[in-house]
Every structure is written in structure tokens, then in C-alpha cells.
């Protein structure tokens, strides 16, 4: 082959650029490159002409100027004097917050529904099939609006909880469900590090303690595993694990004086004061994304479990494993290989669908940067580009994680 495909010296003719497969791809790519460059130049010249006509320029300096609007649900300190950049950060954190919350609940709901769809109980099976079909076939925007309407139109106003003799008492003395959202106690520390008020440092320390507990508990489990391998008897680790998780927490809270800021019906005549308020938009978005995506995850889980062949279950049973160990040691590890990749792309969908927050007024990145900031500053191109960049970074990092996972879970074949 190679002897035939080497052209004789000096035999190159211009027509070979089209007719000879060795050169044709170069010709085509050159043509494509020129066409692409022309198209990009055309778009760019239009953009430049339009911007000149409108007296605009591309500049990101608006990020530094004061935002001038309030956001009702923020994870960090923010007020209307803060910069547009800080408003965007608030939006990013809010997007991540609702995405993470929805991922967790959607997974729980989806696994639950997916397993029940394979139940041998006919009624439960049909009920779950109904859930999956109904939620998959109706747009998520309609679900978000329906749940938001339930929260705002059906729940009582905050006024119902106010006064000496309210119409409704706080549920369990601590929770209040109103049409503006849920009020619940907020934990805080009275003693800070080295004296003074409690601060964010306490929370960092708390996280450090939890991480330490996690590693401690893992060490205990590993040593129990080793003992089981060596002697065949597994020592009971329940109590010691409980102690490792709870004792440091209790001691930590005692030292730094953990207390709870309760929602107070008496402090104010118009609204409940104190505690954490989880706004109705956040709850609506969280619930709607969870039940909508949960239906998709249920289908993934069902497909994953069904993908494990029946022979595996029977072989495990023939080895004498009990049904729950068959599930945990044989079926689930194999099903997870099938379930996890679509599961992660569902997480990606949740993150992208969380941009529908703008429909119910939850201040995520689309509503702050792509909504109010865009409308106030008129910087449409810059805002939309930054918005796309943010989602692109999230999507690409999630796909990178997925690729790493897929490679590690790939069947090791010869």
C-alpha cells in the first residue's frame, strides 16, 4: 500500500487537490477555515457596527459598581450598596444551594420510586409508574409554578402566627409554615474563639471536627474489617462509632455555647422575627426540581437494577447469601455501574434547570446577573456571556468528574 501511495517526484498537479484523497481533506479544511473565518468576521463586523450605532462598548467595569437592589435570600452578607459582582456571587451561591439540595432529595426520591417500581406489590408498582409518567411528561416550569402557587396561595400568611393568641401555634413550638416561606430555629454560638462573640470561625472548626470524626469512624470500621478477615468474628462497632460521631459534637457545642435563635411571634406586629427563613421561591424550586428529576432518576434506577442479570441473583443465593446481602454485595455494585453515569447527567440537568428560578423570583445567578443586573445596566452581551461561562464551568467540571468515575469503574478486561 505505502509504495503505491507515494507519489512520484514532481508529479503534483493542481487537480489532485480535489481528486486525490491524500490532499482532499487538506483542501476541504482550508475551505472550511476560510468560510468559518468569513462567517466570524461577518458576525463581528455586524456586532461592531451595531454597537457603534447604539453608542455602546464592551466593558466589564459595571461589575464593580453598586448593584442598587436587594436580594431577600442570601448566604453571604449583601446589601443594595454591594457591587454587581457580589450580587453575582450571591446568585452563584444560591444556584449551587438549590442545585445541591435538589440533587440530594431527587436521588432519595428517585431511588425510592425506582425500587418500588420493581416491587412485587401490584398497587405500589402501578402507583409509582403513575408518578413517573405524570411527572416526566409535564414541563418542569409548570411544576415549579404549581408548587409555588400551592405555597403562596394555600399557606397562611405570617400574620396567622403573630400576637399573644395566634390563630395557629408554631408547629412543635419551632416551625412556622407561611406563604412567604418556612421559619425555623437558627443555630449560633455564643462564645467565639479566644473569647468574644461566636463567628464564622466556629463553623469552620465544627466542620473540622466532623471531618476528624469521619476519619476516626473509618479507622474503626477498617480495623473491624481486619479483625473479621483474621478471625471470622466481627466486633460490634455500633456503640464506638456513635461515640466517635456524637461525643466531639456535644463537647464542642458545650464549650462554645451552641444555642438556637427561635422565630419569635411577639417581637414584631407584621412578621415573624428571628430564626432562619427559607423563602417560598427556594422551597418551590427545590421541591419541583426534586420530584421532576426524581421521576427520571427512578427510571435510571429501575433500568440499572434490571440490567443485572437474574443469574447473578441466583448465583449469589446459591452461595448461601441472604436476600439483603445479595442486594448489597452482588446486585447493587453491578447496578451502580449502570446507574451512576445517567444519574450524574441528571444532576447536570438539575443545575441547568435551576435557572428557571427566574420564573418564581428566586435570586439565583440567572435572576441576579442575567435578570436585574442586565436590565439595570443594559450590559446584555457581557451579562449573558458571564452567565454562560458560569454554567459552562459547572457542566465541564461535572463531566470531568464523571469521566474520572467512569474510567475507575470500567470493567477491567484483559
Partner 1 sequence: MSDTHEHSIAFVRTTEIAQQPAPLNAAGPVKWMRDNLFATWANALLTVAAAYVLFLLISSTLPWIWGGLWTTSSLSECREILQGQSAACFSVLTERWNQLLFGFKYPAEFYWRPTVALVLMFFALAPVLFFDLPRKLLIITALFPFAAYWLIWGGTIWTPLFAMLGFVVGYFVYARYVSNNFALGFFGGVAAAIVTWYLSGFIVSAIAPSQPLLAAVPSRDLGGFMLNLMLGLTCVSLSIPLGIALALGRQSSMPLIKWVCVIFIEFIRGVPLITLLFVASVMLAYFFPPEATVDLFLRVVIMITMFSAAYIAEVIRGGLAALPKGQYEAADSLGLDYAQAMRLIILPQALKISIPGIVNIAVGLFKDTTLVSVISMFDLVGMIRGPILASTDWNGVYWELLGFAAVLFFIVCYGISQYSQWLERRLATDHR
Q: Which residues bind partner 1 (CB under 8 A)?
A: 25, 28-29, 32-33, 36, 43, 46-47, 49-51, 53, 119-124, 127, 133-134, 136-142, 145-146, 149, 153, 352-353, 355-356, 358-359, 366, 370, 374, 380-381, 384, 387-388, 391-392, 394-396
Instruction: Report, in Å, the least distance between residue 138 CB and partner 1.
Output: 5
Nearer to partner 1, 33 or 251 (CB): 33
Residue (267 or 380) nearer to partner 1, CB: 380
Output the smallest distance, CB 116 to partner 1, in A: 8
- 116 versus 258: smaller Cβ distance to partner 1: 116
Q: How far is the CB of 139 from partner 1 (least distance, A)?
A: 4
From 138, 176, 184, select the one nearest 160 (Cα to Cα).
176
Of 22 and 234, nearer to partner 1 (C-beta) is: 22
Distance CA 243, CA 46 (A): 68
The separation between CA 242 and the C-alpha centre of its own chain, rounded to angstroms, equals: 29
Instruction: Tell me how many degrees the CA angle 156-157-161 measures, rounded to the nearest 5.
Output: 90
CA angle 371, 373, 378 (to 5 degrees): 95
CB 307 within 8 A of CB 332: no
Nearer to partner 1, 155 or 184 (CB): 155
- Positions of E strands within 82-195: 176-178, 181-184, 186-189
Q: What is the DSSP letter of 30?
A: H
The CA distance from 354 to 99, in Å, is: 7
Q: Which of 150, 153, 173 is nearest to 161 (CA)?
A: 173
Instruction: Choose among 187, 193, 164, 155: nearest CA to 174.
Output: 187
Q: Please, what is the minimum distance in Å from the beta carbon of residue 303 to partner 1?
A: 13
C-beta of 39 vs 250, nearer to partner 1: 39
Segment holding 261, helix H or strand E: strand 258-261
Q: Which is nearer to partner 1, 11 or 120 (CB)?
A: 120
In the complex, the smallest distance separating the C-beta of residue 65 from partner 1, rounded to whole angstroms, is 20
Distances in Å between the Cα of 125 and the Cα atoms of 113, 122, 129, 308 are: 9, 5, 6, 19
Nearest distance in Å: CB 187, partner 1: 34
CB of 342 to partner 1, least distance (A): 12
Count the alpha carbons within 13 Å of 227 in the hemisphere toward its beta carbon: 11
- In the complex with partner 1, the residue whose CB is nearer, 145 or 336, is 145
In what order do the strands lie in the sheet containing 276-279?
176-178, 181-184, 276-279
CB atoms within 10 A of CB 259: 14
Q: Is the dihedral of CA 101, 104, 108, 113 positive or negative?
A: positive
**The dihedral of CA 18, 20, 21, 22: what is its sign?**
negative
Cβ of residue 56: shortest distance to partner 1, in angstroms? 9
Residue 390 Cβ vs partner 1, minimum distance, rounded to whole Å:
9
Of residues 101 and 116, the one with the C-beta less far from partner 1: 116
Dmax of the chain from CA atoms?
102
The DSSP secondary-structure symbol of 331 reads I
**C-beta separation of 178 from 272 below 8 A:** yes
Q: Rounded to whole angstroms, how far apart are CA atoms 219 and 211?
A: 13
Q: How far is the CB of 47 from partner 1 (least distance, A)?
A: 5
Judged by beta carbon, residue 275 or residue 371, the one nearer partner 1 is 371
CB of 115 to partner 1, least distance (A): 12
By beta-carbon proximity to partner 1, the closer residue of 391 and 405 is: 391
Amino acid at each position: 500500500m505505502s509504495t503505491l501511495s507515494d507519489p512520484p517526484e514532481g508529479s503534483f498537479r493542481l487537480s489532485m487537490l480535489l481528486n486525490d484523497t491524500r490532499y482532499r481533506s487538506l483542501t476541504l479544511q482550508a475551505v472550511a477555515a476560510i468560510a468559518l473565518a468569513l462567517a466570524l468576521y461577518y458576525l463581528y463586523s455586524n456586532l461592531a457596527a451595531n454597537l457603534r450605532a447604539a453608542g455602546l462598548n464592551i466593558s466589564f467595569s459595571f461589575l464593580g459598581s453598586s448593584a442598587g437592589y436587594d436580594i431577600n435570600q442570601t448566604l453571604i452578607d449583601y446589601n443594595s450598596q454591594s457591587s454587581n459582582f457580589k450580587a453575582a456571587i450571591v446568585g452563584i451561591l444560591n444556584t449551587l444551594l438549590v442545585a445541591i439540595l435538589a440533587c440530594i432529595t431527587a436521588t432519595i426520591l428517585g431511588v425510592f420510586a425506582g425500587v418500588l417500581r420493581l416491587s412485587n406489590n401490584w398497587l405500589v408498582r402501578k402507583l409509582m409508574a403513575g408518578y413517573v409518567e405524570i411527572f416526566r411528561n409535564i414541563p418542569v416550569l409548570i411544576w415549579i409554578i404549581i408548587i409555588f402557587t400551592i405555597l403562596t396561595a394555600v399557606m397562611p400568611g405570617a400574620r396567622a402566627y403573630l400576637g399573644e393568641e395566634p390563630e395557629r401555634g408554631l408547629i412543635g413550638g419551632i416551625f412556622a409554615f407561611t406563604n412567604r416561606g418556612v421559619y425555623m430555629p437558627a443555630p449560633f454560638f455564643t462564645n467565639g474563639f479566644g473569647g468574644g462573640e461566636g463567628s464564622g470561625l466556629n463553623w469552620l472548626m465544627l466542620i473540622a471536627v466532623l471531618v476528624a470524626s469521619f476519619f476516626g469512624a473509618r479507622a474503626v470500621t477498617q480495623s473491624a474489617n481486619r479483625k473479621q478477615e483474621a478471625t471470622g468474628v466481627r466486633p460490634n462497632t455500633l456503640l464506638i462509632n456513635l461515640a466517635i460521631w456524637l461525643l466531639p459534637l456535644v463537647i464542642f457545642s458545650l464549650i462554645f455555647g451552641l444555642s438556637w435563635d427561635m422565630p419569635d411571634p411577639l417581637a414584631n406586629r407584621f412578621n415573624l422575627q428571628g430564626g432562619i427563613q427559607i423563602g417560598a421561591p427556594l422551597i418551590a424550586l427545590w421541591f419541583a426540581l426534586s420530584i421532576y428529576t426524581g421521576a427520571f432518576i427512578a427510571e435510571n434506577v429501575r433500568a440499572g437494577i434490571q440490567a443485572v442479570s437474574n443469574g447473578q441473583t441466583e448465583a449469589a443465593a446459591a452461595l448461601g447469601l441472604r436476600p439483603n446481602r445479595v442486594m448489597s454485595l452482588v446486585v447493587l455494585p453491578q447496578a451502580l455501574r449502570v446507574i451512576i453515569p445517567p444519574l450524574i447527567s441528571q444532576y447536570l440537568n438539575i443545575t441547568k434547570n435551576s435557572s428557571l428560578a427566574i420564573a418564581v423570583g428566586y435570586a439565583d445567578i440567572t435572576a441576579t446577573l442575567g435578570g436585574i443586573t442586565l436590565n439595570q445596566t443594559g450590559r446584555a452581551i457581557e451579562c449573558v456571556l458571564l452567565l454562560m461561562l458560569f454554567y459552562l464551568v459547572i457542566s465541564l467540571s461535572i463531566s470531568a468528574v464523571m469521566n474520572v468515575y467512569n474510567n475507575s469503574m470500567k470493567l477491567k478486561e484483559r
